[in-house]
Structure 1
Amino acid sequence: MPDITPIPLARLTTLRTGGTPERMIDAHTTDELVDALRDVWASGDEWLVLGGGSNLFVGDESFAGTVVRVLTKGIERMPSPLSGRVRLRVQAGHDWDDLVGFAVAEGLGGIEAMSGIPGTVGAAPVQNIGAYGQEIVQTLSEVELLDESTGEVSTVPAAELGLGFRTSVLKHHYGSVPARRAVILSVTLDLPEIGQGARRIAGDQLRTALRLGPDDEATLAWVRERILETRRTKGMVLDADDPDTYSAGSFFQNAVVSASFARTLPEACPRWPVHPDLDPVLVIPLANFDGYVPAPTTVESDVKVSAGWLIEHAGVRKGFRLPRSRAGLSTKHALALTNRGSATAAELAELARFIQGRVQSEFGLILQPEPVLVNVEL
């Protein structure tokens, strides 16, 4: 078993918080990862799987259990059953942005708008990562899983992962446990072959971010570079010299609310429709069928609203800090809580609660944290 001397989690998470675990294992291969997890599960110890540490908020106390670091790497190109597409099977510990760079260089589309998102490939389906209208659910084919309950490895289609807005059956949401306790070993994406030439950019959110018109064309490489530039201006690309990047990315989720609630918010609040199922399946038991099929009902779509806008318009501006706190909002991006210099998890949690309270008081909405919280409460 490849045990190593435990490293403080503050050195392994992008928010730079977290105590030292009792035990730490580095898994460089799939076999090492499977063996390590089976061993930990058999012991009954608390456990935590750590990839890039970019979506974790860890408490100050020592983690009373085992941390397994997923360090597996590799991209395998495979044929797709669909014409004009290619499949990439990627090891869970592979860097996400490195994968995006590889895909773009190969002329493969579908994930270029997610350039610069920190973390590992194995973590991407857990919260269905996305940016500028692209989400991994749109290109994910399947994942290879190791289930805690059985210790068995299985290949699971994306349709069985319950992928939704920043969620899946694998995600440990704040205040709840995952619907399925399992660890991703590899991820398979099915990507369209776009090539290196310019083409029309689909998606209103992406075109708006790139400042393109409906008929403007651009290459994959150009889109990737512009997205990276945009993220850098928001402090959302990791940079050891920039404290604005000492964060877990967007700390609060953009809220998905009913259309009626969205109408209570100021018109200036950015919002995007969450499209309902336009072709629901109606099942009428044959014994009850009298020849009449009811007309379909019109369902008003839910609305996704900007948490960053709500925070700023609740009076919490970029760069805000509570008195004597070393935690603060990014000076570039109101959604990012940052560690401005050896801040404790308690200081960051205090700031998060303050922001939640201000937004609830002003707009009647409780923002939910996006990172996984370990040994810390809001």
Structure 2
Amino acid sequence: MGSRTRISHGVPLAPMTTLGLGGLASVLVDLQDSADFPEFVELARACPGDPVCLGSGSNVLVSDLGCDSPVLRLNNRGLRIGPRDTDGRVLVEVQAGHLLTDLVETAIAEGLSGMEMLVGIPGTVGATPIQNVGAYGQEVSDTLVEVRAWDWALGRHVTLGARECGLGHRNSVIKRSRRWTLLSLVFALYRSALSTPVTYRAVADVLGVRVGGRVPLAEAADAVFTVRRRKGMVIGCSETDRRSVGSVFLSPEVSPADAERLRARDAPVSSFPDGSTRVSASWLIQQAGFELNSTIVDGVRISSLHYTLVADEGASAAAFRDAIEIVLQRVLRCSGVRLTPEIDFLGTWRPAGGLGAPV
């Protein structure tokens, strides 16, 4: 492969994830330049199993048994900001391995609006359309123009428009398939000194403005960062809750009847951009009787700051998966609503409860 691409065998994956759990990768390829990707294709074809891509490991649980499929770490970085087009947009082309935090900071520094509410979200840019990353009123679907990817079914490079990606609430056609590996992305931002409208009351309260108001880009980002830190949703912000993936569960979609029933219990039920109606997963977990900082299984507990799961010393990937199942089942019994894990399961897993079959 290219001189900046490294191939390793029997590599521990746990240190490459924010949970710090999991076994070995049989083959790990660290790709620094997407120009070398065709050589990875040849390697992958010679290995058992479909290749998997690991970004910053901030939304993944690696099996204790490790991963027999070839694991690709995309570290291709860089971005290019184009001129303003006839629609007033500024197209920004970004390599898939570029860190999302760096992209957001660059956009703010360049006076480009559309991503300022995504501040503090870990991971690579290439991971963002896979589950339509979003927070505090902004989603990747708001700005994504297209992705450039390798299509394993067709055996060639392809370009998918945002509509073809099927972006929904933390979902996409890319997430539901192993068909594509994303190599670069194009976003459309706008020249503006002001943020998009502030739609979340917690952020508006920090800023001291009304919901719907607009503020300087950096001020909006600072306010979002403040809210995220309070909830323990910034990597490294809490010494006690360091080993986390943020939200373990999606906010589940509910029917109109369930929405009415839950609203009668003062549940935070909201309408989302994809047309769905959803209830807060954190609220459901709290209502099921789980307490902050309470142990679920050995080594896994509810965070001390937010109703999500974190790992402690002595945890295993199997224990973390068991904790997910325990929370899922108790919430179902107490509310009649089934939670869905947002986290990605990577590697070889023994069959378990109602979580399905992770890859």
- TM-score, shorter chain, exceeding 0.5: yes
Q: Distance in 2 between matches of 1:367 and 1:215?
A: 30
1:229 is aligned to 226
- Relative to the length of structure 1, the TM-score reads 0.85
Shift of 1:80: 4.6
Amino acid at match of 2:278: K
8 Å contact 1:57–1:373 — kept in the other structure?
yes
Q: Distance in 2 between matches of 1:83 and 1:275?
A: 23
**What are the superposed Cα offsets for residues 346-371 of structure 1, whole Å, 9 maximum, x if unpaired?**
11112111111111011101100001
Q: Distance in 2 between matches of 1:6 and 1:158?
A: 37
2:331 is aligned to 359
**What are the superposed Cα offsets for residues 53-93 of structure 1, whole Å, 9 maximum, x if unpaired?**
11111111121121111110001111353433211100000
2:295 is aligned to 321
Aligned counterpart for 1:309 among listed residues 278, 283, 291? 283
Shift of 1:267: 3.4
Compared CA separation, residues 194 and 305, structure 1 to 2 (3 A)? same
The runs of 4+ residues in structure 1 deviating greater than 6 Å are: none
**What are the superposed Cα offsets for residues 5-41 of structure 1, whole Å, 9 maximum, x if unpaired?**
5431111011111101111111000022342134303
Aligned counterpart for 2:148 among listed residues 135, 144, 147? 144
Q: Distance in 2 between matches of 1:38 and 1:158?
A: 28
Amino acid at match of 1:248: V
Q: Distance in 2 between matches of 1:112 and 1:95?
A: 14
Q: Distance in 1 between matches of 2:140 and 2:273?
A: 17
Compared CA separation, residues 203 and 4, structure 1 to 2 (3 A)? same
- Structure 1 unpaired stretches of 5+: 173-177, 277-300
1:11 aligns with 2:15: yes
Where 2:241 maps in the other structure, the secondary structure is helix
1:218 is aligned to 215
8 Å contact 1:80–1:190 — kept in the other structure?
no
**What are the superposed Cα offsets for residues 78-126 of structure 1, whole Å, 9 maximum, x if unpaired?**
1353433211100000001110000011111111111111100000000
8 Å contact 1:37–1:68 — kept in the other structure?
no
Q: Distance in 2 between matches of 1:46 and 1:146?
A: 13
- Relative to the length of structure 2, the TM-score reads 0.90
Q: Distance in 1 between matches of 2:173 and 2:328?
A: 25
1:258 is aligned to 255
8 Å contact 1:25–1:67 — kept in the other structure?
yes
Compared CA separation, residues 249 and 259, structure 1 to 2 (3 A)? same
Shift of 1:42: 4.8
Where 2:258 maps in the other structure, the secondary structure is helix
1:91-130 correspondence to structure 2 within 5 Å: 91-130=95-134
1:202 aligns with 2:209: no
**What are the superposed Cα offsets for residues 215-253 of structure 1, whole Å, 9 maximum, x if unpaired?**
644210011111112212222111186241311110000
Where 1:126 maps in the other structure, the secondary structure is coil
1:346 is aligned to 318
1:163 is aligned to 167
8 Å contact 2:27–2:71 — kept in the other structure?
yes
Superposed CA RMSD: 2.0
Compared CA separation, residues 120 and 34, structure 1 to 2 (3 A)? farther
1:81-100 correspondence to structure 2 within 5 Å: 81-100=85-104
Compared CA separation, residues 125 and 58, structure 1 to 2 (3 A)? same
- Structure 2 unpaired stretches of 5+: none
Identity %: 35
**Structure exhibiting the larger radius of gyration computed from Cα positions:** 1
